[in-house]
């Protein structure tokens, strides 16, 4: 497979592109369809690899997944014939994404058992699943580690429970939602994550018949019901993809209109973009992100759970910060190992130093544990082309932006990984005037 992009940098990215539904909502809404006893319709579904992975897993369980051709990006999901899948078949999906872990609740309710293969997803930290297993046990599930995955059983109907997360994990909050909606009685979850994609998942579940309330102190209360129906839902736009293109506009001195981007879920990013010096034009149909023409400003930034600055925004923005005047500090507090992608940027001429200490803000849980999770970026740096290999989804997109901003030619290997979360990114690059060959 020709998985290398040869990029000739130095041309500003200019033009309009469209973002569709959020990867981090679409995959979960597809899993939610498994909870209903009627078909569901999901719209605004992007053509990305993670959607294919979840469709494959649903089909193994007898859910009929139909893609309706046309601009709506419509998926019909019919769960009326859910079956126990062969473990060997599920195992074929091992390492492909993190979504299989979210099948637990729906499968326990529908079939009384579930098998979770070894998970994939970006290698940006250890990414353990201890919180997931803890909450499932508290609902009454029996969890057993097997050589190639985890077997989970529900000897009787799962029971609502009181839960408090040690850290507001997105996936564990979704695990609790997808498990509690059909459990018997009330579930109360405190220290929950409240990312916009979680709120959209709650909207999906409410359409299916669930009763869920979100309190101001990040507490979520779910009253279990006996059955759920189908849903018709338009997925929220991908705020991570939108911010990635915004960072590309800054890094390449460009001007990109991201159609479909929505202000509401991006406010924290938009404030940072403006502080760096970027120009914004926020419209009803999308957001225009452009370079001001003069210098960019350095800044101090810390990633955090919502409503903080999302960790998935961090990597593309770091590329833009290599072009800002002065010293920027980035403190990554969500994943212990999400700055490794900067080594390739340094190879391209960026001035980036990594530190074990928590720099620029409050101490985080990684501070005393020897993880290189703070970066000091000194700019503006002249980037030059290099041979680089995509390490993970956002890191890969960031390498691509750096190659586009650099002088000369770069070869970016492993480019296929970017398809996991960026719809038609090569076409979009072409529309923005990028100079590259596959």
Ligand X SMILES: CC(=O)N[C@H]1[C@@H](OP(=O)(O)OP(=O)(O)OC[C@H]2O[C@@H](n3ccc(=O)[nH]c3=O)[C@H](O)[C@@H]2O)O[C@H](CO)[C@@H](O)[C@@H]1O
Residues that bind ligand X (CB under 6 A): 24, 98, 125-132, 167, 169-172, 193, 195, 310-312, 334-335
The catalytically annotated residue of 104, 122, 358, 364 is: 122
Q: How far is the CB of 247 from ligand PEP (least distance, A)?
A: 13
The residue from 57, 122, 178, 193 that contacts ligand PEP (CB under 6 A) is 122
The residue from 8, 76, 98, 411 that contacts ligand PEP (CB under 6 A) is 98
CB 69 within 8 A of CB 53: no
Is the CB of 51 or the CB of 310 nearer to ligand X? 310
Binding mask 282-321 for ligand PEP (x = CB under 6 A): ------------------------------x---------
Is the CB of 255 or the CB of 336 nearer to ligand X? 336
According to DSSP, residue 15 is labeled E
Tokens in use for 433?
Answer: 């005037």
394 binding partner (options ligand X, ligand PEP, none; Cβ < 5 to 8 Å by kind): ligand PEP
Cα angle, residue 208 at apex, residues 202 and 214 outer, rounded to 5°: 25
Report the DSSP pairing between strands 113-117 and 286-290.
unpaired
CB 376 within 8 A of CB 328: yes
Consult the annotation and say whether 275 binds a ligand: no
> What is the distance between the alpha carbons of residues 210 and 160, in angstroms, rounded to a whole number?
13
CB atoms under 10 Å from CB of 149, counted, come to 18
Q: How far is the CB of 120 from ligand PEP (least distance, A)?
A: 7
Question: Is 122 among the catalytic positions?
Answer: yes
According to DSSP, residue 35 is labeled G
User: For ligand X, which residue has the nearest CB?
Assistant: 171
Choose one: 121-129, 191-199, 403-411, 425-433; the region binding ligand PEP (CB under 6 A): 121-129
Q: For ligand PEP, how many residues bind (rule: CB under 6 A)?
A: 9
> What is the distance between the alpha carbons of residues 116 and 378, in angstroms, rounded to a whole number?
44
Examine residue 393 and tell whether it contacts ligand PEP (CB under 6 A): yes
Choose one: 116-124, 209-217, 316-324, 356-364; the region binding ligand PEP (CB under 6 A): 116-124
123 binding partner (options ligand PEP, ligand X, none; Cβ < 5 to 8 Å by kind): none
Write the DSSP assignment of 315-347 as a string of letters: HHHHHHHTTEEEEEEEE--S-TT--TTHHHHHH
> What is the distance between the alpha carbons of residues 159 and 53, in angstroms, rounded to a whole number?
30
> What is the distance between the alpha carbons of residues 265 and 148, in angstroms, rounded to a whole number?
38
Write the DSSP assignment of 237-300 as a string of letters: B-HHHHHHHHHHHHHTT-EEEEET--SGGGHHHHHHHHHHT-EEEE-SSEEEEE--SSPEEP-E
170 binding partner (options ligand X, ligand PEP, none; Cβ < 5 to 8 Å by kind): ligand X
Is the CB of 366 or the CB of 436 nearer to ligand X? 366
User: Which residues, in sequence order, are bridge partners of residue 159?
Assistant: 184
Is the CB of 124 or the CB of 317 nearer to ligand PEP? 124
Consult the annotation and say whether 23 binds a ligand: yes
125 binding partner (options ligand PEP, ligand X, none; Cβ < 5 to 8 Å by kind): ligand X
**Nearest residue to 141 (alpha-carbon basis) of 130, 152, 129, 132:** 152
421 binding partner (options ligand PEP, ligand X, none; Cβ < 5 to 8 Å by kind): ligand PEP
Examine residue 121 and tell whether it contacts ligand PEP (CB under 6 A): yes
Consult the annotation and say whether 370 binds a ligand: no
Consult the annotation and say whether 305 binds a ligand: no
Residue with tokens 């359409």: 207
Tokens in use for 394?
Answer: 């956002």
Residue 26 CB-half CA count within 13 A = 31
167 binding partner (options ligand X, ligand PEP, none; Cβ < 5 to 8 Å by kind): ligand X
**Nearest residue to 210 (alpha-carbon basis) of 38, 63, 32:** 32
Q: How far is the CB of 337 from ligand X (least distance, A)?
A: 9
Binding-site members are 23-24, 98, 312, 334
Residues belonging to the active site: 122
Binding region for ligand PEP (CB under 6 A): 97-98, 121-122, 124, 312, 393-394, 421
């Amino acid at each position: 497979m020709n998985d290398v992009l040869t990029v000739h940098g130095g041309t500003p990215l200019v033009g309009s592109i469209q973002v569709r539904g959020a990867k981090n909502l679409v995959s979960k809404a597809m899993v939610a369809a498994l909870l209903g006893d009627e078909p569901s319709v999901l719209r605004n579904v992007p053509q990305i690899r993670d959607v294919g992975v979840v469709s494959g897993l649903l089909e193994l369980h007898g859910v009929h997944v139909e893609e309706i051709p046309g601009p709506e990006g419509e998926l019909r999901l019919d769960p009326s014939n859910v079956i126990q899948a062969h473990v060997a078949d599920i195992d074929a999906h091992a390492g492909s994404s993190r979504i299989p872990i979210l099948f637990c609740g729906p499968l326990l309710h529908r079939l009384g058992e579930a098998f979770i293969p070894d998970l994939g997803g970006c290698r940006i930290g250890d990414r353990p699943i201890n919180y997931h297993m803890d909450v499932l046990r508290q609902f009454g599930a029996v969890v057993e580690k097997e050589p190639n995955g985890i077997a989970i059983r529900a000897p009787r109907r799962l029971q609502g429970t009181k839960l408090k997360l040690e850290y507001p994990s997105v996936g564990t909050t979704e695990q609790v939602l997808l498990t509690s909606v059909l459990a018997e009685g009330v579930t109360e979850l405190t220290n929950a994550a409240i990312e916009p994609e979680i709120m959209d998942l709650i909207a999906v579940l409410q359409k299916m018949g669930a009763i869920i309330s979100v309190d101001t102190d990040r507490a979520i209360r779910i009253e279990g019901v006996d059955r759920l129906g189908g849903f018709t839902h338009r997925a929220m736009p991908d705020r991570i993809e939108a911010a990635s293109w915004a960072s590309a506009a800054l890094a390449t001195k460009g001007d990109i209109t991201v159609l479909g981007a929505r202000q509401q879920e991006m406010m924290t990013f938009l404030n940072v973009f403006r502080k760096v010096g970027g120009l914004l034009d926020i419209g009803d149909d999308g957001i225009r992100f452009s370079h001001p023409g003069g210098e960019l400003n350095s800044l101090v930034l810390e990633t955090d759970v919502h409503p903080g600055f999302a960790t998935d925004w961090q990597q593309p923005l770091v590329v833009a910060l290599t072009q800002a005047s002065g010293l920027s500090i980035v403190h990554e507090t969500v994943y212990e190992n999400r700055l490794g992608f900067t080594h390739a940027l340094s190879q391209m001429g960026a001035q980036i130093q990594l530190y074990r200490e928590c720099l620029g803000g409050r101490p985080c849980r990684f501070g005393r544990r020897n993880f290189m999770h703070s970066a000091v970026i000194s700019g503006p740096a002249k980037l030059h082309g290099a041979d680089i290999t995509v390490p993970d989804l956002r890191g890969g997109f960031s390498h691509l932006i750096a190659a586009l901003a650099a002088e000369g030619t770069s070869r970016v290997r492993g480019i296929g990984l970017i398809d996991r979360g960026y719809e038609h990114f090569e076409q979009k690059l072409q529309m923005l005037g990028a100079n590259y060959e596959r």
